[in-house]
Amino acid sequence: MSTIDPRIHEALDGELPTDALPVELRPAAQTVRTAADLLAAPVPGASLESRIMAEVRRPAPSPLRRAAGWLATPHAVTLRVRPVWSLALAATAAVFTLFFARDAGPQLGEHEGIAQFVGRFPDARSVHVVGTFNDWRPGTIALEDLRHDGVWSATVVLPTGTYEYMFVVDGERWVPDHLADRLVADDFGRENSVVIVRPVHR
């Protein structure tokens, strides 16, 4: 003989709201309540036995109605991600970033090229490049020490042509690039470096 959960008794007695019952107990509570209502409401000309048998013989709900009832009932869902799968997802994202989302680089016009400026200044706090391409204005084109090894570099897109330039270290020291294509004397008794920007062949 099966026993009825005490919480169903409390719900039927009005001591506990039906909504407070666990989801799995609600169908049983509804069944007991229906049976109790059947017993409590006399039907003229029908015996107790015939009423109970009519309820028992009621056809089962269709699969569609059962599915609708299941969808309408709240269910707890727990997602567990294993560490191995987390690593696999992270590796997949990294591969996608490396091979499919890489920066295609600057878009160059027909009469543009790339100038690469590189200088070694181990103790510098900042390095900029100035030249005829930016009217010798300090602070406009900064170089970066990406590896923190004292090698500063910058890549600049410029119209094709020949330009004079110098490095400005820490905002005050002007230094020529001795690795440049060539050096030319300026009007101040110093030497400027020369870079030739050629169009990129597509």
Residues of the chain with pLDDT under 50: 1, 101-102
In this prediction, residue 168 carries a pLDDT of 97
In this prediction, residue 20 carries a pLDDT of 78
Q: Tokens 């050096």 correspond to what residue?
A: 183
Gap between the Cα atoms of 136 and 114, Å rounded: 19
Q: DSSP letter string over 113-130?
A: EEEEEEEE-TT-S-EEEE
Note the CATH architecture for domain 112-197. Sandwich (2.60)
Q: In the structure encoding, which two tokens stand for residue 37, read together?
A: 């209502």
In this prediction, residue 119 carries a pLDDT of 95
C-beta separation of 166 from 173 below 8 A: no
In this prediction, residue 65 carries a pLDDT of 78
Chain segment 50-95, per-residue pLDDT in tens: 666 666 666 667 788 777 776 777 766 665 656 655 566 666 666 5
In this prediction, residue 8 carries a pLDDT of 76
> What does the domain layout of the chain look like in residue ranges?
6-72, 112-197
In this prediction, residue 69 carries a pLDDT of 74
Q: In the structure encoding, which two tokens stand for residue 12, read together?
A: 């039927």
In this prediction, residue 120 carries a pLDDT of 95
Max distance between CA atoms of the chain, in angstroms, equals 125
E strands in 74-201? 112-120, 127-131, 151-159, 161-169, 173-175, 182-185, 191-197
